Amino acid sequence: MIAGLGNPGPEYRKTRHNMGFRVIEQWAESLGIALRSRRFHSKSGRALMEGRGIILLCPQTYMNRSGMAVKACADYFGVETGNMLVVHDDIDLPLGRVKVVRSGGAGGHKGIQSIIDYMGTNGFARVKMGVGRPRSLQPVDEFVLKPFSSEEDTVVEEVVRLAVRACEEFVLMGLEHAMGNVNWQHLDQKEGEH
């Protein structure tokens, strides 16, 4: 099960906090599946990837109740924590960084905290996409609900593509492989920088 986090509704669609939704939606499109099902307080779809069954999930509960949807789906399909991947934005990483991690705390992310609370564990893998921090005194909760600037859009598209690849590698080759192939990349660096 791969769950992308975000908030439902058109007003949130292009915001920093909806990066998880964008990854799942792009991946579903490339797999040719519709996120139609309304079960588990989510939009979801199922697919086969090289013989492996996957469930793509976008909780529609609003971010701070994401755990309710993730747990309902995991319980229904009997998905073990080791076969779960959560895709989300991360303010502690700069825009252009994608990091695959085995587990960890919530780091102030209300969606991740909700999943930890509902699942009773923090032992699920994540794909974190850096969105940076506000440069001014803007509160973080306002910052993550704002859209990216037009200058950032190109990097955002690359980040989404890399995150989709991270999800594919998690499914097909495992967590270690995904970590090794993704975590060293810095999409925000200009060509020629090292």
Question: CA 129, CA 178: separation in Å to the nearest integer?
Answer: 14
For residue 52 the two structure tokens come to: 């492996």
CATH homologous superfamily of 2-182: Peptidyl-tRNA hydrolase (3.40.50.1470)
Q: Do residues 57 and 2 make contact, with C-beta atoms less than 8 angstroms apart?
A: yes
pLDDT tens digits for 142-192? 999 999 999 999 999 999 999 999 999 999 999 999 999 999 988 875 543
The reply to whether 88 belongs to the active site is no
Q: How many CB atoms lie within 10 A of CB 78?
A: 7
Question: CA 73, CA 23: separation in Å to the nearest integer?
Answer: 19
Give the pLDDT mean for 77-91.
Answer: 96
Element (DSSP H or E) covering residue 171: helix 153-173
Residue linked to tokens 């990349």: 185
Question: CA 9, CA 81: separation in Å to the nearest integer?
Answer: 29
Q: What predicted TM-score, i.e. pTM, was given to this entire model?
A: 0.94
* Residue 89 β-bridge partners: 129
| Active-site entry in 17, 41, 88, 109 | 17
